[in-house]
A and B are shown apart, each in its own frame.
Chain A
């Protein structure tokens, strides 16, 4: 097989994907991916959410301001955009709920309550458990 014959299908695929990228913005999918990653990568969460927000804005611009080679706005593109916007917003605003969904479980202890910490009360509980070793962990909710 000549090189041209090998490359032709690849070129067709690239061309098709390029067309699709215009009419169905892949930036939106990347936004969802970045937001999803932010659930698991605590240290870079703000940056990933920033990237997700920027990609969503780019997708919004693609859909409503830039027509490119697409003659009309596709319903699929609109549906994907608004679904993605909902997902990214959920990850940013209620990350704990989304993380639970990712984990495949509903909140395991929905009735649990964290007491507001007062040093005096904590000190009393710490000293009240002095008959055994005690562990303190400082954690962030998200």
Chain B
């Protein structure tokens, strides 16, 4: 799993510290700081069918508070592959995200 933190709110003026990163204590999670929204822009640019359309999660043209699930086997070559699950806000789609992951196993 990849957790990518990006500055979206006026209070996001510093990179995430230990207390923020500690919210995801699982060591298998790779955590990144993306102050320039590089990944959000790439995900938005590469979005295409059959990836589901998200129902929220855009602020000032930047994707955030969204979760995406990519199936095993697909590779990111020229473009990110379409996600099989793509929605947010994360706290509200946790159940659906879990189901999507179960379907991938």
Q: Which residues of A contact B (CB under 8 A)?
A: 42, 45-46, 49, 92, 95-97, 99-100, 106-119, 122-123, 125-127, 130-142
- B22–A138 contact, CB under 8 A? no
Tell me whether A133 and B71 are in contact in the complex, defined as CB-CB below 8 angstroms, given that A114-B15, A125-B30 are known contacts: yes
> Does A109 contact B22, Cβ atoms closer than 8 Å?
yes
B4 neighbours in A (Cβ, 8 Å): 117, 136-139
Interface residue SS majority, chain A: mixed
Q: How far is the CA of A64 from the CA of B88 in the complex (A)?
A: 47
What is the interface of chain B, defined by CB distance below 8 A to chain A? Answer: 1-12, 14-23, 25, 30-35, 38-40, 42-43, 57, 63-76, 90, 97, 101, 104-105
B12 and A140 form a contact (CB under 8 A): yes
Partner of B22, one of A110, A130, A136, A140: A110
Instruction: Enumerate chain B residues within 8 angstroms of A106, measured Cβ to Cβ.
Output: 19
Q: Which residues of A contact B2 (CB under 8 A)?
A: 122, 125-126, 134-137
Cβ–Cβ contact A135 & B9, under 8 A: no
Given that A109-B25, A117-B34, A140-B12 are known contacts, is A134 also in contact with B18, CB under 8 Å in the complex? Answer: no
Contact A116-B33, Cβ < 8 Å, known A46-B10, A96-B19, A130-B72: yes
Chain A residues with CB under 8 Å of B19's CB are: 96-97, 99-100, 106-110
Nearest CB of chain A from residue B105's CB, rounded to whole Å: 7
Q: How far is the CB of B52 from chain A (nearest CB, A)?
A: 14
What is the minimal beta-carbon distance from B43 to any residue of chain A, in angstroms? 7
Given A117-B38, A119-B39, A139-B65: A45 and B11 interface contact (C-beta under 8 Å)? yes
Nearest A residue to B19, CB-CB: A107
Identify which of A49, A123, A130 contacts B73 (C-beta below 8 A).
A130
Query: In the complex, what's the smallest C-beta–C-beta distance from B55 to chain A, in angstroms?
Result: 15
